Amino acid sequence: MKKLTRIKRVRLHHEGTPTLLYGFVALFALNVAAYFLFRGLALWPFYVLLGISLVVYAIIVNFFRCPIRIFQGETTENVVVAPADGRVVVAEEVDEEEYFHERRFMISIFMSPLNVHANWFPCDGFVRKVEHHNGNFHKAWLPKASVENERSAVIIDTPSGHSVLVRQIAGAMARRIVTYARENEECYIDEHLGFIKFGSRVDVYLPLGSEVCVEVGQKTIGNRTVIAKMKQVDPLVTSGE
């Protein structure tokens, strides 16, 4: 499958534009009001508020940063990259009963509020299904979050015949999941799958027999860290001949 990648010089994710704009206006108005309120008295409360405002706004800007990343491997064939920055909290075999109804190897990456929250496609392929499920907002690192929290599911069929499930999962703070994946469209490593606001988790369900390249506790870099390599599928076996 030929891979076409367009590089855009984007430093802040467009999902953050409303938050950054309205946040700046609100903090600016608050500080202007505080200045006029305290200027006839003591200005130190104004300077304290100004300092807090700058720190808060810097944290928000940091959250919406969107680094430009291109996968550095020689090939993307059967390669699975981390769909998000964060830390691996689960790497084990599980029963996936929602779509595949079979044993799968699940790798879960938890994103703290300090991580980049853009999500990347973990592999090249064809988007077969995209579904959004309303749900709870348990802490994202809890096992039940995978099936009980609000989430979006994306199933990708790879060129070699594998199927990969990616779940974007809302956490205790995250209240909005944005998914760019569209059914019946091709997808590639280096492209954004979506965005989750303010702390969350991404699960990847891989076929058994995949070579897992990460372990629990390991930090990941989205679109850079190789988390697994899937086996080459025999076309004769795939076709049933």
pLDDT at 1: 43
Query: Considering only CA atoms, which of 130, 114, 89, 118 is closest in space to residue 196?
Result: 118
The pLDDT score that the predictor gives to residue 34 is 87
Residue 236, pLDDT score = 44
Triad 213, 214, 218: Cα angle to 5°: 155
In the residue annotation, 53 being an active-site residue is answered as no
The catalytic position among 53, 108, 152, 200 is: 200
Per-residue confidence (pLDDT) for residue 154, from 0 to 100? 96
**Which spans in the chain are helix H?**
17-38, 44-63, 145-148, 235-239
Q: Is residue 59 classed as helix, strand or coil in its secondary structure? A: helix
Per-residue pLDDT of the chain (241 residues; tens, 9 = 90+): 434 444 444 466 667 678 788 888 999 899 998 888 888 788 888 888 999 999 988 878 877 777 888 898 888 999 999 999 999 999 999 999 889 999 999 999 998 878 888 899 999 999 999 998 876 655 555 555 566 667 899 999 999 999 999 999 886 555 578 899 999 999 999 999 998 876 688 999 999 999 999 999 999 999 999 999 998 766 544 444 4
Q: Check residue 16 and give its pLDDT.
A: 67
